[in-house]
Structure 1
Amino acid sequence: MLLQNDAVNVAPVISTSELRGLGMESVAYIREVEVEGEDAFAIHAADGTPMAVTEDRETAINAILQHEMMPVPLH
């Protein structure tokens, strides 16, 4: 059971439609993909537009932050 005080410690989860409403210039999400048989991580704008592909999740997060965007979890 989630107590009211515990709500502060829970990471927010955002749906795809909510991401679209936040604006594609400021929010990005990462999706695990396969490129030429290799695992990779695609970076997408809030509206779902693909922006880049990296070899690992950490590089994807760093790329988002370097472009002054906010990485958000996707459910």
Structure 2
Amino acid sequence: MKTMDNKPMIMGHHMMSAADFANWGVPAIAYFKHEDNGGQGGWSIHAADGTVIGAAPSRDTAFAAIVQHEMEPMSVH
């Protein structure tokens, strides 16, 4: 970004509140991670704030479910 005299504009740092950070990406991002429930593996699907919103039997199914609901999938290892 530049000023009217074509000089670079320096933007100030903005501190996010804890609530802003917790809600960052909530409507657009979901993540999935492998769960080992007593020897039966599966994949849990979480909203960006950590709320469990689904489960799937495979990684591919979890990924597809997130995309189908118009969210950006993120894998957690």
Say which of 17, 25, 28 aligns to 2:27. 25
| Higher Cα Rg, which structure | 2
Say which of 40, 46, 71 aligns to 1:69. 71
CA offsets 1:50-73 (integer angstroms, 9 cap, x no match): 011100000000000000000123
Alignment pair present for 1:45 and 2:47: yes
Unaligned runs of 5+ in 2: 1-20
Shift of 1:25: 1.4
The higher-RCO structure (CA 8 Å, 6+ apart) is 1
Identify the residue that residue 62 of structure 2 maps to in structure 1. Answer: 60
Which residue identity lines up with residue 67 of structure 1 in the other structure? Answer: H
Could you list the runs of 4 or more consecutive aligned residues of structure 1 that deviate by over 2 angstroms after TM superposition?
19-23, 34-37
Note the aligned Cα RMSD (angstroms): 2.0
- The separation in 2 between residues aligned to 1:68 and 1:53, in whole angstroms, is 17
Q: When you count helix as a share of all residues, which structure comes out higher?
A: 1
Identity %: 39
TM-score by length of 2: 0.63
Unaligned runs of 5+ in 1: 1-18
